[in-house]
Amino acid sequence: MEVTKRVFRFMLKQMDFMILLFILLLKLYIFAKVSGTIFVTLMPIDYLREFFGWLFGAETELRIFEGVLMVSVGTILLSTFWILFLHGRKRFVAIFIINALLSFIILADVIYFRYFEDIISITVLMQMKQLGDVGESVFALFSWTDLIFFIDLLLTIPLLIYYFRKTRNHQPAKPLLIPKLLTGLLVLIIGYQLTFIPFNKSMENGGAWQFNKLISNMRVYNFTGLLGFHGANLQRYTEDNFINKKEYTEDEVESVASWFEERNEAPAASPYSGMAKDKNVIVLQVEALQDFVINREINGQEITPYLNSLIAEEGIYFPEFYEQTGVGRTSDAEFLLNTSLYPTAKGSAYMLYAENEYDSFPQILKDKGYSTNVFHPYKPSFWNRYIMYKQLGIDQFFSESDFEEDEVIGWAINDDAMLQQSLDKMVDMEEPFYSHIITLTSHHPFEMPDDHKVLNMDGYAEYSKRHFRNYLHSIHFVDQAIGNFVDRLKAEGLWDDTMLVIFGDHSTGLTADDPAFSEFADAGEQQTYFEANKKVPLIFHIPGVDEAQQFDQTGSQLDLAPTLLDLIDAPSSGRKWIGSNLWDGEERKVTFRDGSFITGDLTFITSSDGIYENGSCYERESGETLPTEQCRAPFDQGVQELKMSDDVLEGNLINKFEK
């Protein structure tokens, strides 16, 4: 009887640890709900029945391994077992700190997933110095339900104060050393087993290839759970960058070089080849401009009246053009334009590979006698631009301090003022010049001053439609700014000597759950949302071309550099690029960073677990779901392209090719 009482008292003293375990497990469950991933497939009683049946060798369906519950419990135990070695004040403080730390990590992943549909990695965390610059956008992604991540901590603070006051002059008796050590070690062993048994089982069932062939962080999450992902990510980063950094052999370098040479051996010509030879080139990269607003009205008002008129009167328009950015967003769009390589899955190429050598579009123009310039009214250190641009062959970078004060909208001076001030500088430049202009006003969360909200938004008054309303207002403002910019180009006599290229850099961040966006963009289904979310407009003004033309072939940001090079009469043969001229007559395919792709006929969307067979293959015209094998060939081609691009980045192979 006395032994039973002692055991009961000892277990009662571990109640704080069990409460911590339950709270953290609940928060991990919330992440699974937000991310739409499987946490557990069984009800609690059924799960426990199958778990203990498996534990003691009974025949079960092994549904306990479906989802990430088991590995989540294991990683929590591995993260917290050491608390059991403490007692008194130290234990109370340790519980509070570890709860706060893990809660912050989970909440950060929830917020990050809402925008990027991915998990924060080590390389992204290394860019945390930029978090202050995107604070407003991050804040807009918070939901009142996120208070659940910290409400327990707020309730714990007064308890912590009360406990410290109560024990100021009284220290509780220390528990017996051996039971304490045995309990901590037992929890460590259990945590290890619960973590690595399901992980190893996944590896045995074919998961090893998916785990090691990283395309998406969510793939790793499905094997490791959220906390396990961060542990695995830290281990991978350490190994890749310090312990097992890959060194490429001469044969491997030659193999990659041969692949690029074959790919760019005979580039296709376009109907407009050489028509922009020796002309100025202005590339206008528009923040969050998506194609669903082009030629559309809201309550009888055109959203983008200037762009619509340009397309109708003299523009070359590609309505099947797609963005391929990853977590680097705007910097990835720049990277795709400048290098015709895929962005990295690990973070931003601008941050990770700023010292690499590149076969860059600006450098080619520079070698042809162009001055090369970038205009962006923000901090030069953001996305590491002030370093990266030097590697790309940019002569001048006009950033925040180079623009005069004017009305600020969002992050910086508004696009109308920025474009006019950029043009002030261009009119004094020796021709031909290349100017890459990156707009900013239409950045998420698209907040606009009331006097610029000129669109009639009747029927869109609900709070849940606020971001959609703001987006349309901001794009309407930017469209007007572009129109003013073109009017000034004409007034300054530059229009007839300048090729103007306008494209959207990435998606808005509006989700399929936004009813206004889904209805307006006809994006209510998985396929239609995927396509609408990736589609951005591409519009050319080419000197000497006075007749509007629309080309419906599929294209992407990878294709910008080869296409522009053809237009200025500098063929892309011999380049180390993955993209191709948009007028290439072969079957065209757009591959995205996670392996998904779009062709003229097919759309393939990878599953969050990264398993090819769990993806979705669609016939685009009918929306009919097809067997995944019908999408296998273009998928494999895309994976090969991603690998070649990653090899070039990770091995800095452009530098080795030239040797």
Residues tagged active-site: 330
Residue 177 exposed, middle or buried by CB count within 10 Å (0-12, 13-18, 19+): exposed
**Rg, the chain, Cα only:** 28
- What distance in Å separates the CA atoms of residue 435 and residue 243, rounded to the nearest whole number? 42
Number of C-beta neighbours around residue 617 at 10 A: 22
CA atoms of 230 and 72, how far apart (whole Å): 12
Cα–Cα nearest to 79, from 191, 173, 236: 191
Please check whether residue 160 is in contact with residue 96, taking contact to mean a CB–CB distance below 8 angstroms.
Answer: yes
Closest CA to 73 of 208, 231, 228, 205: 228
Do strands 396-398 and 371-375 pair parallel, antiparallel, or not at all (unpaired)? parallel
Task: Find out whether 330 is annotated in a ligand binding site.
Answer: yes
C-alpha 391/C-alpha 160 separation (Å) is 53
Alpha-carbon span 399 to 253, nearest angstrom = 37
Which of 482, 387, 393, 477 lies closest to 437, judged by CA?
482
* C-beta pairs of 482-489 under 8 Å, 24+ apart in sequence: 482/284, 482/286, 482/306, 482/307, 482/415, 482/419, 483/305, 483/306, 484/416, 484/419, 484/420, 485/284, 485/419, 485/420, 485/423, 486/306, 486/310, 486/541, 488/420, 488/423, 489/423
Burial letters 450-465, b for 16+ CB under 10 A, else e? eebbebebeebeeeeb
Whether the bond between 445 and the residue before it is cis, its omega within 30 degrees of 0, is yes
For residue 116, the one-letter residue type is: F
Contact 404, 412 (CB under 8 A): no
β-strand pairing of 498-504 with 538-541: antiparallel
- Annotated ligand binding at 505? The verdict is yes
| The residue type at 307 | L
Neighbours of 410 (CB within 10 A): 20
CA–CA distance, 41 with 263 (Å, rounded to integer): 46
Give CA–CA dist 262/358, Å, rounded: 18
How many CA atoms lie within 13 Å of 215's alpha carbon, on the beta-carbon side? 23
CB 351 within 8 A of CB 127: yes
Q: What DSSP string runs through 64-88?
A: GGSSSHHHHHHHHHHHHGGGGG--H
338, 362 contact by CB (below 8 A)? yes
| C-alpha count within 13 angstroms, C-beta hemisphere, residue 79 | 26
**How many Å apart are CA 475 and CA 296, to the nearest integer?**
12
Residue 443 marked in a binding site: yes
CA distances from 281 to 31, 368, 373, 494, 496 (A): 46, 13, 10, 11, 11
- Compute the distance between CA of residue 655 and CA of residue 659 in angstroms, rounded to an integer: 7
- The answer to whether 559 is a known ligand-binding residue is no
**Strand partners of residue 555:** 321
CA dist., res. 559 & res. 164, Å (int)? 64
Binding region for Mn(2+)? 287, 330, 505-506
Binding region for substrate? 443
Binding region? 287, 330, 443, 505-506
